[in-house]
Every structure is written in C-alpha cells, then in structure tokens.
A and B are shown apart, each in its own frame.
Chain A
C-alpha cells in the first residue's frame, strides 16, 4: 500500500495512526459527554476564579512572545549570551567565518592529507 513506509527496522503507516487517533479522540469525547451538564452558561459558574481578584482585561491577559519560555532562557543564559555575541550581524564576520572554515578544511584535507 502506498501509505506504508517501510524502513530497515519496521514500517510507518500514517493511515493506521490516523485511525488510532480518531479512536482516541472518540473515546475522549465519550468521557467528556459523561461530565456534569447542569451548570449555567454566562453566569459566575463559568467565570475564572483568581483567588477572588478581579479578572484582567482580555488584551492584558495575552501572554506575549517575549514572556514565553522565560525560565528556559534564564537557565540557559550563559549559553545564549555566548551564542548571541557570535551572531554579530556584521558581514565582515560572515566572510571571516567562511575563510576560517575554508582554512580548517584546507588543513584537514590538503595539508594533513586525510583524504
């Protein structure tokens, strides 16, 4: 079948995977349908409870891109400070890096004669 991708160790069948996903979603929806339905929409029952504090406006509650993964960036601060310094945006550095790579390859391939 054209959907089954065989590999040296096994195979991958996306249609079968989709079927499994559909079954899982169906099962999840079934469990959801067993839930409580007697709440009243558009009342305090459906509003978020923030320890009694008033709910902030919709536009203020949006999490901006800069605020996402703050912890990840903070924990890798030393790595990022180095890698950001490396990305100077200066075209002279781009050419320098190209020359550096060529020089390293020259040493390995031509002078050391590993090839």
Chain B
C-alpha cells in the first residue's frame, strides 16, 4: 500500500474507516474497555493523519474527485459523462472543513477517555461519535445533493443519540427531543429542495445542477428551502433557540462536535450560495440576507449570553453570536461578487476573514466547552452561582478558560482577534455601521466572559470546594491542545491564512472550476 494509493482512496477511506470502526464497537467492547478506547483513539488519529495528507495534496495539486460505482476507465473527472454515480469532490474548502472536523474529533475522543469513564454503554457512545464524524466528512466531501441530505441525516441522528446519552439527567432527553424535531424538519426541507431540482434537471450532482440551473420559479423555491434549512441548522437568528438547549445538555466532548456540526451546516449554506446558485442569482440581495441574518444573530446571541447562570448556556449563546461574524463577512464578500474591482480590494479579504473565523471559532468554542466540562466533572454543576475560587485548585483549567475567553472576545494576540480584525476592517469599507456593531458585540462578549470567569474562578476559596483538584491528564491534554492552537493561530495568523484559508476561499468562490473539475471542459 503506497502513499499514492492512500491519497487516491483517502476521500473514501476517511468515511469508511470510522464507519467500520463504529459498527465494530459492540464487538470490540468484548475485548475490554482499554481496547475499546484504544480503537476509538486509533481511528480518530488515523483519520486526522489521512485528512492532513489529503488536505496537503489538495492545497498543492488542486481538487481531488472520487467516483463510486463507475467503470474503471471512467473514474477520472475528465471521463465524466452522465451524472448517475456517487461522487466525492474534495476541493480546498472541503479539505479545510475536514481539518476542523478531524482535529476536533481527535480532541473529543482524548477528552472522553476520562470524562466519560463513569458512564455506561460506552461502546454505543463511541459508535455514535464515529458516526457523527462520518456524517460531517460526508457532507464536506459529497458532490451530490441527495447524498448531502443522507449525510445530514446520519449526522443529525448520531448527534441526537449523543445529546440524550446521559439520559439520567433530566434535561438531556428534552434537549435531544428538541434537536430531533428541528433537525428532522430541516432535513425534510433539504430533501424537498433536492426533489424539486431533481424533478427539473434529472440530476443530483451539484456541479451538473449548477451548470443547468435556470433560476426559474421552482429553482427559487428550492433556494428558499435550502437557505432556511441550513440557516436553522447553523443556529442563526431567529432559529437559534435549539442551540443552547442542545449544547448545554450534551456531554462536553459532544458539545464541541456539535459546534463543528453547525459549522458543517454553514459550509453547506455557503456551498448552496456560492457553488450551486452562485453568480446566477442576485448577489446583492443574497449578500444582504446573510448580513442581516448575521447582524441579528450577533446581537441577540451576545445579549442573551450575559444574563445566563448556566455556564454552558452562556457559552452556547456566545457560540450563536460568533456564527453572526461569519455570516456578515461572507455576506459582504458575496454582495460584492458582481463588482470585480471592489471584490478584489476587500470583498475577497472579507470572505477570508469569515472563513478564518470559522476555524478559530471551532477551536476557542471547543476549548470553552471542554473547560465547562472540566468544571462539571469536578464540582457536578453548571450553575455559575454555585461556583467560586476555582482558579486555585484548577490552575490549568482556569488558564485555558482565560485563553478561550480572551480569544472569543477578540483580544490580541489570540486567534479570535486576527480573524475579527480582518472582518472589522473589510466590513468597515463596505458599511461602517455593521463594523461598529460587530465591535460592540466583541465588547459585550468580553463582558459576558468576564462574568463567567469572575464567578467560577475568582474570589476566595469556598469551603465546599476544599477537596476539588485538577482534572485528569487526558482531559487536560484535550484542553491544552486546543489552547495551543488558539495561541499559535493568534501568533502566526498569516501562516494559517496563506496556507489554509486562502486556498479554501479560492475553491469556494470559483464556481466554474468546481463545475469543470467534475464535469470536464
């Protein structure tokens, strides 16, 4: 098995390996808990390595397609004739998203080793976690609208099972039920839109549809359904209310995977806007739709975060708010799409800021959720009013929380500042008021995080926490990995923007090259 073979088949392997590992989990558990944990860890580590290899190749040599069910001679995109086979297409944007998903999944499994130790039926926990990965990678790699629906369902069902995993907690089944209802309705809308497009064009392939799209009445209905469903799934206002209900009750390692799953929905939204409909629609209207959605999400998210007493609900609302930054940045870029001069000067940079914010958000949100999990692990509550003085016994945890808090508030030199700086500056040129609101939201975010930090970690040692000590090493490792990424991305933003973000944005906005690379010239 050579490296080339691995690279060629990596899009399929990245889906197949966790899928295989997931369904063998009930058998592996017979070999003992350590073997089960070892297999789960080895799987996510292998996937991380494969994703990095694939991403490196895609960034260096261009997009990579993988055809399932084709004749051997027709596996290359240039041999593509009729869009009847299942296609995976990994371009810069897909590879970028896969890096986020694989890294967060690796951290989630490392953290889970100790965090979930006291729970039962962990084979099912790892089974569902690996299925979540399958759903995420599938949505990122697929070049087919129907398969996107299938992977969305895989992701939603696995997520729902994991949200309800700690069924002995009263609020877990409630959060899972809400998530299930809202996900099912969203997925049905995606299916309906897919059906409308299939009925018209006899195609499910995104590139084929993008090529043939006439933007008629039915196409517009499909666009409305897709925009609504994915905007809801990514937690934008006013459809954000399921986010705190779900994130706060899930186990902390699952909360961080849920953050990535909402970002995958955001990716799907961007794919619909940029690749499927692209320049053929009125870019100014769609751009402003994203901006208005983003502004309202920003403001409502942060103002709802401030009065929260539950630390995970507070972080969840801030997570909602952070989605707003990405929507605004990409909306500004998209609305300048039809104006090549302005797009080149700052539109492209605005989208880069939004996409950079996406990876940064997954890292600091992940870090904050892991810290909240560490607090819950030691003191058994999420209520900020019951906490205090925990910085003394939990030094590493408190430092990690401080790093995450400063990053989410956009304080230099952490990663949140770098991406927000790009967004403020480019959006200011488009419309100064939007930029000022975004900066005000950053100040409110800092206020909300200061409240949480002050309540949980500062103040005198409380007598009820006399016995509290630092969390186990695997949990610390999970937090330190994310904290290191937050600091590294903040200190070397150009390294990330030039090597990861720019190729991703170029792939996202170049609709013709997506179509040509799949359908041929």
Q: Scoring B residues 288 to 332 as 1 if CB is less than 8 Å from chain A, else 0, what string do you get?
A: 010000000000100110110100000000000000000000000
Q: Are A68 and B494 in contact (CB under 8 A)?
A: no
With a cutoff of 8 Å between Cβ atoms, the chain A residues found around residue B215 in the complex are: 115
Q: Does A51 contact B (CB under 8 A)?
A: no
| Interface status of A63 (Cβ within 8 A of chain B) | yes
The stretch of A5-13, A31-39, A40-48 that contacts the partner chain: A5-13
Cross-chain contact B418 with A7 (CB below 8 angstroms): no
Question: Which residues of B are found within 8 Å of A87, using beta-carbon distances?
Answer: 241, 304
Report the Cα distance A91→B451, complex, angstroms. Answer: 29
Asked if B238 contacts A17 (CB within 8 A), the reply is no
Q: Of A2, A64, A93, A97, which one neighbours B455 at CB under 8 angstroms?
A: A64
B412 adjacent to A14 (CB under 8 Å): yes
- State whether B238 touches A101 (Cβ < 8 A): yes
- Cβ distance B516 to chain A, nearest Cβ, rounded Å: 25
| Complex-state Cα separation, A105 to B421, whole angstroms | 31
Does any Cβ of A come within 8 Å of B278's Cβ?
no
Instruction: Name the distance in Å between B304's Cβ and chain A's nearest Cβ.
Output: 7
Kindly state whether residue B232 has any CB partner on chain A within 8 Å. Answer: yes
Residues of A contacting B497 in the complex (Cβ-Cβ under 8 angstroms): 5
Cβ proximity bits B460-497 to A, threshold 8 Å, 1 near / 0 not: 11110000000000000000000000000011111101
Instruction: Mark A70-108 against chain B: 1 for CB-CB distance below 8 A, else 0.
Output: 001100100110010011110101110110111001101
Would you call A109 an interface residue if the criterion is a C-beta within 8 Å of the partner chain's C-beta atoms?
Answer: yes
By a CB distance below 8 angstroms, the chain A residues around B123 are: none
User: In this complex, what residue of B is CB-closest to A93?
Assistant: B241
**Whole-angstrom distance between the alpha carbons of A102 and B493 in the complex?**
38
The one of A63, A105, A106 in contact with B454, judged by C-beta atoms closer than 8 angstroms, is A63
Given the known inter-chain contacts A83-B304, A97-B238, A101-B238, please indicate yes or no for A66 contacting B309, CB distance below 8 A.
Answer: yes
Q: Once the chains bind, are A61 and B425 in contact (CB under 8 Å)?
A: no
Give the shortest distance, in Å, between A77 (CB) and chain B (any CB).
11
A29 interface residue per 8 A CB criterion? no
Most chain B CB atoms below 10 A, which of A7, A8, A80: A8
Q: A1-B494, A17-B413, A105-B228 are in contact. Are A68 and B462 (CB under 8 A)?
A: no
| Known A17-B412, A61-B459, A68-B455: A91·B238 in contact at CB below 8 Å | no
* Residue of B whose beta carbon sits closest to that of A12: B421
Q: Mark A8-28, 1 if CB is under 8 A from B, else 0.
A: 110010110110000000000
Size bin of chain B's contact surface: 35 or more
Task: Evaluate contact between B221 and A98: CB separation under 8 angstroms.
Answer: no
Indicate whether B178 reaches chain A with its CB closer than 8 angstroms: yes
Give CA–CA (A106, B384) in the complex, Å: 42
A53 at the interface (CB under 8 A from B): no
Complex CA–CA separation, A101 to B343 (angstroms) = 29
Residues of B within 8 A of A108 (CB): 285, 289
CB within 8 Å for A6 and B494 given contacts A68-B455, A94-B241: yes
Known: A8-B349, A110-B217. A2 touches B413 (CB 8 A): no
Chain B positions 489 through 521: 1 when the CB is less than 8 Å from some CB of chain A, otherwise 0: 011111101100000000000000000000000
Task: Flag whether B245 is at the interface (Cβ < 8 A).
Answer: yes
The reply to whether A83 and B285 contact each other, CB–CB distance below 8 Å, is: no
Scoring A9, A61, A109 by chain B CB atoms within 10 A of each residue's CB, the highest score goes to: A109
Closest Cβ neighbor of B425 among chain A residues:
A7
Q: A1: which B residues are within 8 A, CB to CB?
A: 494
B182 contacts A94, C-beta separation under 8 Å: yes
Chain B residue numbers with a CB within 8 Å of A2 are 492, 494-495, 498
Assess the B461–A58 pair: CB atoms within 8 A: yes
**With a CB–CB cut-off of 8 A, which chain A residues contact B460?**
58-59, 61-62
Cα A88 to Cα B490 with chains together (Å): 38
Residues from chain B with a CB closer than 8 A to the CB of A109 are: 220, 223-224, 285
* A86 to B237 alpha-carbon distance, docked (Å): 12
What residues on B are CB-neighbors of A18 within 8 Å?
413, 491
A95 touches B493 (CB 8 A): no
Interface residues on A, range: 35 or more
Q: Which residues of A contact B182 (CB under 8 A)?
A: 91, 94-95, 98
Asked if residues B491 and A15 are in contact (CB atoms below 8 Å), the reply is yes
Complexed CA–CA distance, A8 and B239 (Å): 34
A83 to B463, CA, bound (A): 37
A79 partner residues in chain B, CB cutoff 8 A:
303
Q: Cβ of B178: which chain A residues have Cβ within 8 Å of it?
A: 91, 94
Least distance between A103 CB and chain B CB atoms (Å)? 9
A8 contacts B494, CB within 8 Å?
Answer: no
**Which B residues from 337 to 396 make CB contacts under 8 A with A?**
345-346, 349, 384-385, 387-389
Cβ contact within 8 Å between B241 and A7: no
Residues A65 and B384 in contact, CB atoms below 8 Å apart: yes
Q: Mark B439-460, 1 if CB is under 8 A from A, else 0.
A: 0000000010001101100011
Q: Give the most central of B225, B307, B490: most A CB within 10 Å.
A: B307
Instruction: Tell me whether A69 and B462 are in contact (CB under 8 A).
Output: no
Chain B residues lying within 8 Å of A69, measured Cβ to Cβ, are 306-307, 447, 451
Cα distance, A70 to B445, chains bound together (Å): 17
Q: Let me know if A110 and B224 touch, CB within 8 A.
A: yes
Query: Do residues B385 and A114 form an inter-chain contact, with CB atoms below 8 A?
Result: no
Contact B418 A62, beta carbon cutoff 8 Å: no
B177 adjacent to chain A (CB < 8 Å): yes
- 11 inter-chain pairs at a CB distance below 8 angstroms, sorted by A residue, are A2-B495, A5-B418, A5-B494, A7-B349, A8-B425, A65-B384, A69-B447, A95-B182, A102-B224, A102-B228, A105-B227
Other than the given A2-B498, A89-B245, 20 more pairs (CB < 8 A) read A7-B425, A7-B426, A8-B429, A9-B425, A12-B418, A14-B412, A15-B413, A64-B384, A65-B309, A68-B454, A83-B300, A87-B304, A88-B241, A98-B232, A100-B238, A105-B227, A109-B220, A110-B217, A115-B215, A115-B281
Closest 8 CB pairs of A and B: A58-B460, A65-B384, A65-B455, A62-B459, A14-B413, A2-B495, A115-B282, A102-B228
